[in-house]
Amino acid sequence: MLRWSVHLEGGPRRVNHAAVAVGHKVYSFGGYCSGEDYETLRQIDVHVFNSVSLRWTKLPPVRTGGRERVREVPYMRYGHTAVLVEDIIYIWGGRNDTEGACNVLYAFDVTHHRWFTPKISGTVPGARDGHSACVLGKAMYIFGGYEQLADCFSNDIHKLDTSSMVWSLVNARQGMPARWRDFHSATIIGTKMFVFGGRADRFGPFHSNNEIYCNKIKVFDTETNCWLSTPNTQLLPEGRRSHSAFAYNGELYIFGGYNARLDRHFNDLWKFNPETFSWKKVEPRGKGPCPRRRQCCCMVGERIVLFGGTRGVCGGGGGGGSVASARAHVEECGGGGVASALADVVVVVWPLPWAHVVVVVVGVVVVWHFCQSLGLRGALCKQD
């Protein structure tokens, strides 16, 4: 049985950011929060969450000497993606209110905390945001998103070979491709890419305010470069965008998201089995996170770390005020209104001999260790 085990507050308030797990740490890049300046160009911020100490740290800005060095550090953005290949995190896409969308590939050396821009060649994808990125071996696959120059949704697949740093447009040999969309998820299981959700338009690739939210899985086989035919499934989650997706033990999990046609945020957790091609709603024990969209979700060992995101709230919201007040708005007022960034961290764990449950109370963090054979023990530590 899955269990929601940790609720922490006081971290960075971020929406539409990108994050990746490296060992026991989660690196979070960029994103936005109401009330912050996104017109002035500045370096992307990097926050690091330590899943052992349960503490956030913010990396200091990179010292840049000269115009060329400045170009190697990405500017603050949202709607981008981050993937890990060996000890390098690749940041691609996203947009800023001043520069618009970006298609420059940035690399972050985790060991030395150093930015650089790899020399690339091939067919570089057009600048966009709201796309997906996933890794198979040393290849990064980009799918979909909203292209700035074409001003439309995309359903192209682009591949970056990080060994040769060559981009290529993947031409599907056969099958019905996934619909043009943005803010979907694409997850690698085995050698197949599973695409779920996202925002699309009823009439084609151009946005006409006739949004649709598909809830059917589309599968792309990276070995044959074909979109596969998929059977119909009886039980399906609601269509949504800006949700989280991850793979565990050969199955696909999705959490949260938003459907504008229903004007509804979600906090449900679903599991998809590729072998039986069936969905099952999962009900973890413990208190889960509130409904949200545009959060980040990373697999850290046997745990899933989920943080940030937004949900419409009544009244001000914005960047000021405490998380508690923002959350109170959410619970009392429901959807609609101003969006407020969330700063809580929630962890879901699979059943293990030992699980950690952290409960935040006023002034202290109570850490409970649960052992299946020994029962409950508690310990107090000072809250920063």
Chain segment 292-315, per-residue pLDDT in tens = 999 999 999 889 999 999 986 533
On the question of pLDDT at 382 being above 50, the answer is: no
Residue 15 DSSP class: B
Q: Does domain 18-299 have CATH number 2.120.10.80?
A: yes
pLDDT digits (tens, 9 = 90+) for 149-191: 999 999 999 999 999 999 999 999 999 999 999 999 999 999 9
pTM for this entry: 0.84
Which DSSP symbol is given to 143? E
Q: Categorise residue 211: left if φ over 0, alpha if ψ from -120 to 50, beta otherwise.
A: beta
What's the order of all strands across the beta sheet hosting 226-227?
185-189, 192-196, 218-221, 226-227
Alpha-carbon torsion 13, 346, 44, 65, what sign? positive
Q: What pLDDT is stored for residue 64 in this prediction?
A: 73
- The pLDDT tens digits of the residues spanning 118-144 come to 999 999 999 999 999 999 999 999 999
- C-alpha span between 113 and 361 (Å, rounded): 34
Confidence of residue 11 (pLDDT cuts 50, 70, 90): confident
Residue with tokens 């996104």: 38
Average pLDDT, the chain: 83
| In the chain, domain spans | 18-299
CA distances from 328 to 310, 317, 322 (A): 13, 11, 10
Instruction: Place 66 in a pLDDT band, splitting at 50, 70 and 90.
Output: low
